[in-house]
């Protein structure tokens, strides 16, 4: 394994890898809650959106600097979404779509540790 990719190690996972795992799982939970809101809106969207935003933003900050994990196009899309101007259903849907694409990239690179 390339020494730069210690983050991907399944054994003796470093602290950053554990943080990524926790951030990912928290992002998934808040993404699910936001999706449920979009299916059955009750109350304001802002609190659910901000919880999802915080988690996805944290995951992005922990992983986006690894150039071999995330391509520049996706990195730019997520960076643009993080510069939210209006919190509404369209912004939520865009964020959820980006998160789906982002988590697929992380899974393809074995960044997310399921063990």
Task: Classify residue 115: in a domain, yes or no.
Answer: no
Task: Say if 63 falls within a structural domain.
Answer: yes
pTM: 0.85
Long-range contacts of 54-60 (CB under 8 A, 24+ apart): 54/30, 55/23, 55/26, 55/27, 55/29, 55/30, 55/31, 56/27, 56/30, 56/31, 56/95, 56/98, 56/99, 56/102, 57/82, 58/23, 58/26, 58/27, 59/20, 59/23, 59/24, 59/27, 59/102, 60/102
Determine the structural domain holding residue 49 and report its residue range. Answer: 14-108
Report how far residue 54's alpha carbon sits from residue 1's, in angstroms, rounded to the nearest whole number.
Answer: 32
89 lies in some domain: yes
Q: Look at residue 114 and tell me if it is in a domain.
A: no
* 5 inside domain: no
Number of domains in the chain: 1
- What is the per-residue pLDDT across 48-101, written as a single tens digit (0 to 9) for each? 999 999 999 999 999 988 878 888 999 999 999 999 899 999 999 999 999 999
């Amino acid at each position: 394994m390339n020494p730069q990719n210690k983050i991907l190690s399944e054994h003796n996972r470093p602290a950053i890898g554990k943080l990524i795992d926790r951030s990912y799982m928290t992002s998934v939970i808040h993404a699910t809650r936001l999706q449920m809101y979009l299916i059955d809106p009750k109350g304001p969207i802002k609190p659910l959106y901000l919880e999802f935003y915080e988690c996805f933003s944290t995951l992005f900050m922990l992983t986006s600097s690894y150039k071999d994990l995330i391509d520049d196009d996706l990195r730019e899309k997520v960076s643009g979404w993080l510069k939210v101007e209006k919190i509404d259903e369209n912004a939520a849907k865009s964020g959820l779509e980006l998160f789906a694409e982002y988590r697929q990239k992380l899974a393809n690179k074995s960044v997310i540790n399921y063990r």
